[in-house]
Amino acid sequence: MALNKKTIDDINVKGRRVLVRCDFNVPLKDGAITDETRIVAALPTIKKLMNDGGRVILCSHLGKVKNGPNEGESLAPVAKSLSEKLGKEVVFVSDYHVTGEAAAKAVEAMKDGDVILLQNTRFRGAEETKNGEEFSRELADLADDYVCDAFGSSHRAHASVAGVTKFITEKGGSNAVGYLMQKEIEFLGNAVENPVRPFVAILGGAKVADKLNVISNLLEKCDTLIIGGGMAYTFLKAQGKEIGNSLVDDSKLDYCKEMMEKAEKLGKKLLLPADTTVVSAFPNPIDAPVDVEYVSTDAIPADKEGVDIGPETCKIYSEAVKNAKTVVWNGPMGVFENPTLAAGTIAVARALAETDATTIIGGGDSAAAVNQLGFGDKMTHISTGGGASLEFLEGKALPGVVAADDK
């Protein structure tokens, strides 16, 4: 899929103030960043703008900020990490108002190639998340041009993702996408719109309702659709099978039946688990030792709960990706946070690591699983956005992409 949007290669930023929306929503533990993947992913765009003589103003959200601005969700640790990685001080504007006087002064003092980081955009609450005009205008007032490089937030029409672009346009500036956005859209876009076949899509995870809309779109595009994770049990129940205490979304049973019929009509393979790993009770805590049994999906005991695909299904699913040329995977096959119940997810990750296909991992839990299991470097592309990659695979237009200027 050609990206017909302005990219940072299309704009001249020398001496201009460029507001860059990044995705620095990194995990923190006791004030330290535990996974810097998203910071590293943003570096190529930041370096390009610095080297071209732009005055780079970075902004991002971090966390959900449910109880108002607080130091625990400040971007201060990100500024420190960026300074180390760029070999240059990234000035952090710690003001909770984000776009207040402190920000204006910091921008005023900038020279070409300088970088500053604004405070967490969600410290402005609903003004950010409800795409408030005033906050959008204040962000635009700080800059001449705008770059969106936050794929992980691009499915949300927030002030710092979408609203700001209108005011940049009004003042004659450009709205472009950064390298990370470009890479994500090209990988995911090509996989879905123009895949090298056979194209296999693997969907898992517990959030049944989230994935069901993706199924309909992918069934039209792929050759084989593999279903695992918690949502498989809704399909099995729709087939009339006993699923015991397994996760189920009863409101989606008819939808699952429709999808199975659709697959048949389109001549696509829809693979469901042939056997499953069951437990008497869900592990508490989630990684606690647990006794498991493997049973056929035709014989799940009424008092047990399915928590992973079984060994037979691991073989079938691994076989299905062997001859694929394109594989898109979103969502683990079981409760991968538990070492005993990660077997299905490990089997699929290993099969993807061994295939010659282009392998694309849709962010979120599957990205975490692949990285934790040590298969990250064997994948062609690991998306930085879970929700965004899902909506993209659903065929939805992403606000952060739509808001960029057309070429």
* Predicted confidence (pLDDT) per residue in 308-340, tens digit: 999 999 999 999 999 999 999 999 999 998 999
Residues 6+ apart with CB under 8 A from 214: 203, 330, 390, 393, 394
Please report which confidence band the pLDDT of residue 1 belongs to, taking 50, 70 and 90 as the band edges. very low
In the residue annotation, 387 being an active-site residue is answered as yes
In whole angstroms, give the CA distance from residue 150 to residue 160.
10
Asked if residues 313 and 273 have their Cβ atoms less than 8 Å apart, the reply is yes
* Residue that terminates a domain, selected from 156, 180, 204: 180
In whole angstroms, give the CA distance from residue 255 to residue 175.
39
Q: Are residues 318 and 339 both part of a single domain?
A: yes
In whole angstroms, give the CA distance from residue 322 to residue 260.
23
Task: Print burial letters for 258-267: b (CB count within 10 Å at least 16), e (below 16).
Answer: ebbeebeeee
Q: What is the pTM of this model?
A: 0.83
Per-residue pLDDT, averaged over 35-49, amounts to 94
Closest CA to 11 of 403, 402, 407: 407
Residue 151 buriedness (CB in 10 A; 0-12 / 13-18 / 19+): buried
Q: Are residues 198 and 111 both part of a single domain?
A: no
Asked if residues 160 and 61 have their Cβ atoms less than 8 Å apart, the reply is yes
Per-residue pLDDT, averaged over 18-30, amounts to 94
In whole angstroms, give the CA distance from residue 75 to residue 86.
16
* Residue that terminates a domain, selected from 133, 157, 180: 180
In the residue annotation, 178 being an active-site residue is answered as no
Domain count, the chain: 2
Question: Is 350's pLDDT higher than 70?
Answer: yes
In whole angstroms, give the CA distance from residue 284 to residue 282.
6
Please report which confidence band the pLDDT of residue 213 belongs to, taking 50, 70 and 90 as the band edges. confident
Query: Residue 232 belongs to a domain with what CATH number?
Result: 3.40.50.1260
- Is 282 within a domain? yes
- Is 327 within a domain? yes
3-class SS at 20? strand
- Is 212 within a domain? yes
3-class SS at 271? strand
- Is 251 within a domain? yes
3-class SS at 406? strand
Asked if residues 120 and 60 have their Cβ atoms less than 8 Å apart, the reply is yes
- Is 255 within a domain? yes
Task: Print burial letters for 336-347: b (CB count within 10 Å at least 16), e (below 16).
Answer: bbbebbbbbbbb
In the residue annotation, 244 being an active-site residue is answered as no
Question: Is 360's pLDDT higher than 60?
Answer: yes
Per-residue pLDDT, averaged over 100-118, amounts to 98
Question: Is 305's pLDDT higher than 80?
Answer: yes
- Print the domain residue range for 46: 17-180
Please report which confidence band the pLDDT of residue 35 belongs to, taking 50, 70 and 90 as the band edges. confident
- Is 360 within a domain? yes
Closest CA to 317 of 271, 366, 283: 271
For 286, which DSSP code? T
Per-residue pLDDT, averaged over 191-210, amounts to 87
| Catalytic residue selected from 63, 189, 376, 387 | 387
| Catalytic residue selected from 6, 38, 122, 156 | 38
Q: Are residues 257 and 327 both part of a single domain?
A: yes
Tokens of 44: 């190529």
Question: Is 255's pLDDT higher than 70?
Answer: yes
| Catalytic residue selected from 54, 363, 364, 386 | 364
Q: Which amino acid appears at position 114 of this protein?
A: D
CB count in 10 Å sphere of residue 179: 20
Please report which confidence band the pLDDT of residue 11 belongs to, taking 50, 70 and 90 as the band edges. very high
Cα–Cα distances in angstroms (integers) from residue 232 to residues 41, 168, 207, 306, in the given order: 33, 46, 11, 10
| Catalytic residue selected from 5, 16, 122, 207 | 207
Q: Are residues 23 and 67 both part of a single domain?
A: yes
For 265, which DSSP code? H
In the residue annotation, 38 being an active-site residue is answered as yes
Helix, strand, coil percentages in the chain from 3-state DSSP, rounded to 5: 45, 15, 40
CB count in 10 Å sphere of residue 234: 24
Per-residue pLDDT, averaged over 295-302, amounts to 98
Q: Are residues 102 and 234 both part of a single domain?
A: no
In whole angstroms, give the CA distance from residue 188 to residue 45.
19
Residues 6+ apart with CB under 8 A from 397: none
pLDDT higher at 37 or 78: 78
- Is 63 within a domain? yes
Q: Are residues 281 and 153 both part of a single domain?
A: no
* Residue that terminates a domain, selected from 157, 180, 203: 180
Q: Are residues 233 and 341 both part of a single domain?
A: yes
Closest CA to 182 of 25, 349, 407: 407
- Measured torsion, CA atoms of residues 78, 81, 83, 87, in degrees rounded to the nearest 10: -150
Asked if residues 25 and 63 have their Cβ atoms less than 8 Å apart, the reply is yes
Q: Are residues 63 and 86 both part of a single domain?
A: yes
Closest CA to 326 of 281, 360, 375: 360
- Is 325 within a domain? yes
Please report which confidence band the pLDDT of residue 4 belongs to, taking 50, 70 and 90 as the band edges. confident
Question: Is 177's pLDDT higher than 50?
Answer: yes
Mean pLDDT of the chain: 94
Q: Are residues 170 and 191 both part of a single domain?
A: no
